Structure 1
Amino acid sequence: MTLTLFEAIVFGIVQGLTEFLPVSSTAHIVITQLVFGYTFPGLSFEIFLHIASVLAVMMYFWKDLWSVIKGFVLFILHRSKEHRTQFFFGVYILIATAITGGLGVMLNDFFGDAFKTPAVIAGALTITGLSLIFIERFHQYGQRKEEDMSVKDSIIVGLGQTLAVVPGISRSGATLVVALLAGLDRETAVRYSFLLSIPVILGSTVLAVGDFTADMVNHIGILNLFVSFIVTFIFSVIGIIWLISFLKKSRLIYFAIYCFVIAALVLLFIDPSTVMDV
């Protein structure tokens, strides 16, 4: 079955909007495939769209990214105190990424398609929703900033991010929740979560580079690939701006309600027999 231009646009919108909102982009991509009855050849197309999302993050947070990279390098070269915080912030990003990468590959290899069932997706979305409600309504936000972070924080966030290997567990939601639970203030938690997405997505791209073949391009179509990439980039930027705006107003509960609704729809309308083919 060949991907149509309309479907390519829809996949781009879905990936872009859900990648950084705490609603699980993986679950939405799986659900969208099931709705269209479409099966991608491997993970190449999904990873391709993720590249557009990570470019959006790098563009939006370029000052923060450059500050961390510059501070990391200058501290190694000169051991200057003014760059110490950014150096260790970069180290904490690398530690969390290493934990996520190692455990994520192990979990994905062990469980594989067992994750892609309506029950698992709905259950994971429900857990995501409950976590968002808890962190907003029942947990007092911390006051710790970048200079107060420790290796323990990076380990906790890395473990939380690993849970996103399960469709329905949001990567951005998991990292935000565990970072806030660890006592980081909201601004630091958000910045850490977004910058963490860069090495994680780029790492996934490297692992999936073998899937980028001429057959994949022909199967999806060059025009469809180009359009879906641009659409994903645009809606990723929209998603980033939208999430930051919501977090300033502390309205995570709306995302939680959305997760509950999608979980119910998955259980009611998705045929379990179609999932293992995705």
Structure 2
Amino acid sequence: MTSRLHVLVPCLAFFLAPLASRAAERPARIVVDPGHGGGQDGATSPTGVLEKDIALQIAQRVREHLEKELGAQVLMTRDEDVSLPLPERVEFANKQRPDLFLSIHCNAMPTRRTRARVQGLETYFLSASASNATARAAADRENAEAPSARASRGDSTLAFILDDLARTETHQDSSRLAYAIHPKLIAASGASDRGVLQAPFYVLNGVEAPAVLIEVGYLSHPEEGSRLTRADYQEKLATAITGGVKAFLAEVRKRDAPRNPAVAAPAAP
């Protein structure tokens, strides 16, 4: 009987190994969030192009690439020009139990002088405080659609602590996701590198998955605003975002892969 087990165990390992491998490589579930929509136009280009339209176009391209290149299951918070309050975006995302969350936006400057001068890409992850004045301004602009005040949750101190501990790893992975995507965006687009930044974006707060907000460029800049409307440039951005997501998922899966304990050699019969 012992000799038969010695033969059976390696055979079982042979047949089960591909199953374990496929489980580790299951399709990722990703929520893509095109900013604004409906009555919320967002930023406007010098020629009247609206952020809500550019964000949706790029998000749709990102979905296509994620599905085609990664086999991912991609869910959009909106796939047409409709209004969707920020709390509903967060609620929708959490119901999907995603592996990660991507929010797509365009930036803008408020004055004629800064509109003519400021351009470039920024990638954000959540923080209670902004990295700098630029990050604070971006968060304030994107948070303009948020509720003016949040209802008190009334959570116990213990529940708050447990929730905070649960979010620590998610926050760290949000940082990793941002740093995986951002350099690929800069390399693919040739845009000015305005860095990976942190800011208190409402749409990132409460998402129970690694989450980033990508400002794909300054729609208010005459040249960059024009580039953002071009299909070939949008394709570069979508391909770069997909490449960053692919690199991030590979890193996380490698980190989280179960480590097989060493198996002792069978005793001699």
Answer 1 or 2: which has greater strand percent.
Answer: 2
Coarse TM-score class (shorter-chain normalised): under 0.3
Answer 1 or 2: which has greater helix percent.
Answer: 1
Q: What TM-score does the superposition give when structure 1 sets the normalisation length?
A: 0.25
Q: What TM-score does the superposition give when structure 2 sets the normalisation length?
A: 0.26
The structure with the larger Rg is 2
